[in-house]
Copies of this chain bind each other. A is one copy, B any other.
């Protein structure tokens, strides 16, 4: 379930709240995105073909629903990144994260906090 950049935009809006019409999605799209209504319809059609989104008619209007969970899509994208850019392993990614100056101190702190909380709640 590989999504393209444009498709992610649509899916993000759809996951936010659904079912949704093309118009709903248009309104909820990221500010930076400014597509014509038909562009959104085209993306939706392609997503339906891909089985990433379900479509049902309500009167003359299509109502859409994600068929792929955000979690699943994220996993797939994450795996791709790992395979492509980090030798397919989490290790290199972890190193990268830790060493990368681009991660702000705040992000690092957040990372640590979450890891600690996780460790506790799962008794690891």
Quick check: is A56 within 8 A (CB to CB) of the other chain? no
- The answer on a CB contact under 8 Å between A98 and B85 is no
Q: In the complex, A115→B105 CA distance in Å?
A: 10
Chain A 1-27, CB within 8 Å of chain B: the 1/0 string?
A: 000010010000000000000000000
Quick check: is A77 within 8 A (CB to CB) of the other chain? yes
Assembly stoichiometry (copies): 2
How many residues belonging to A are interface residues under a CB distance threshold of 8 Å?
A: 41
State whether A8 and B85 are in contact (beta carbons under 8 Å apart), knowing that A71-B100, A112-B112 are contacts in the complex. Answer: yes
Quick check: is A108 within 8 A (CB to CB) of the other chain? yes
Quick check: is A42 within 8 A (CB to CB) of the other chain? no
Quick check: is A97 within 8 A (CB to CB) of the other chain? yes
